[in-house]
């Protein structure tokens, strides 16, 4: 498990425009390959505090976003690219 001083609550927008809670975890930035280019990835690893179960919609979203390098404990594992937007509550990063 990653050791990080940063934690994040991860919400993902579903097809109905509603935010779905995917849990809380420890955040870090790791280097990995994306389309044969080394880039930084935003990785959030579950801290185990979310005790819910994924419903069918959540499973579909997680499978759609899943990376081939993602592990079950990852809540989020996404490349940080210019064309992607990440937001924090109240403003864009």
DSSP 45-79: EE-S-------HHHHHHHHHH--TT--TTEEEEEE
pLDDT of residue 23: 84
34 in a domain, yes or no? yes
- Determine, yes or no, domain membership for 49: yes
- How long is the chain? 93
Position 92 in a domain: no
The conformational region for residue 72 under phi > 0 = left, psi -120 to 50 = alpha, else beta, is: alpha
Number of domains making up the chain: 1
For residue 16, being part of any structural domain is answered with yes
Asked whether residue 39 is assigned to any structural domain, the reply reads yes
Is residue 72 assigned to a domain?
A: yes
Give pLDDT, residue 28.
92
Question: pTM to 2 decimals?
Answer: 0.66
**Does residue 55 lie in a domain region?**
yes
Task: Give the pLDDT mean for 53-69.
Answer: 69
More confident residue, 13 or 86: 13
Q: Would 75 be classed as within a structural domain?
A: yes
Q: For residue 15, give its domain range.
A: 6-84
2-60 pLDDT tens trace: 455 889 988 888 888 888 888 889 999 999 888 888 889 889 888 876 655 667 777 77
């Amino acid at each position: 498990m990653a050791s990080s001083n940063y934690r994040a609550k991860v919400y993902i927008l579903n097809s109905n425009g509603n935010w779905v809670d995917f849990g809380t975890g420890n955040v870090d930035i790791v280097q990995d390959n994306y389309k044969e280019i080394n880039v930084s990835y935003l990785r959030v690893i579950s801290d185990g505090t979310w005790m819910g179960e994924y419903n069918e919609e959540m499973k579909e979203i997680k499978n759609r976003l899943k990376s081939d390098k993602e592990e079950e404990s990852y809540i989020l594992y996404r490349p940080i690219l210019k064309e992607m937007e990440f937001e924090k509550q109240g403003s864009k990063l």
